[in-house]
Amino acid sequence: MPIIAFQGFLGAYSDLACRHAFPGWTTLPCASFEAAMQAVRENRAELAMLPCENSLAGRVPDIHRLLPDSGLHVVGEHFERVEHCLLAPHGTTEATLKRAHSHPMALGQVLNILKELNLEGVIEADTAGAAALIAERGGVEDAAIASSLAAEVYGLKILRHNVEDAEHNTTRFYVMAREPRLPPVDAKHCVTSFVFRVRSIPAALYKALGGFATNGVNLTKLESYMMDGRFTATQFLCDADGHPDEPGMARALEELRFFAELRILGTYVAHPYRIQNESN
């Protein structure tokens, strides 16, 4: 069976994303994002599923820093709706609960249920790891906020489905591979991801991005972050609609190279979630 790597425990949302995007594949849990990338580099996995942003929490830390030097290529994207569940050992009821364990980001997304049931939030390193801990500990006073898959993996009871505060809670993932998988130039709804670094001079960013405006290329993501701990060295992570071999995109990238150091991370067909949201 082909293998896809992810960061986290079995039953994590990244694991769920792998199973939804690549049904029938074997999922490989890894201790860190770097370890998931390493699994692909070492041929222990064909792909890696890496979260890059969330509709509530924004950018996922470290991913933007790891991508450019990973030696891997972005070959796809996946959007996963985050559906938090309240999980506990069998025999537990909502009335017996006193604490809810989960990743701090997840706890921040279920404040309503914590308040309703008067539960103390307990921070853990991972949502699925919290579920594993609760399953091992047992008892009727502790629950986990995690996925329905985590309940299945660790033999827990789902006390409530969809306890997240916001219905639009969605995480976007990059799918990474050892080699690029460039779609045909005439493929519809292509996205190109790249990083670039501009010189620290007045109007450098304005000049670097001018080619996208004049050539009618839509930028859907533009994020900046410091390089090497220096406040004057800024790198940008960008997603643009289009294929690099299309005339407009090719001219825009050529102009960008004149003003900046550019590295293309990959070109891929947009996920249906993106297309649906753009049409709305």
The catalytic position among 27, 171, 192, 267 is: 171
Report the chain's C-alpha Rg in angstroms: 21
The answer to whether 26 is a known catalytic residue is: no
Six-digit token string for 102? 């989960």
Q: Evaluate whether 212 touches 219 at the Cβ level (below 8 Å).
A: yes
Catalytic residue among 22, 173, 194, 196: 173
Provide DSSP, the chain: --EEEEESSTTSHHHHHHHHHSTTPEEEEESSHHHHHHHHHTTS-SEEEEEEEETTTEEPTTHHHHSTTSS-EEEEEEEEE---EEEE-TT--GGG--EEEE-HHHHTT-HHHHHHTTPEEEE-S-HHHHHHHHHHH--SSEEEEE-HHHHHHHT-EEEES---S-TT-EEEEEEEESS--PPPTT-SSEEEEEEEEE-SSTTHHHHHHHHHHHTTPPEEEEEEEEETTEEEEEEEEEEEES-TTSHHHHHHHHHHHHHEEEEEEEEEEPPHHHHHHHH-
Query: In one letter, which amino acid is 24?
Result: G
171 has catalytic annotation: yes
> Catalytic positions, please?
171, 173
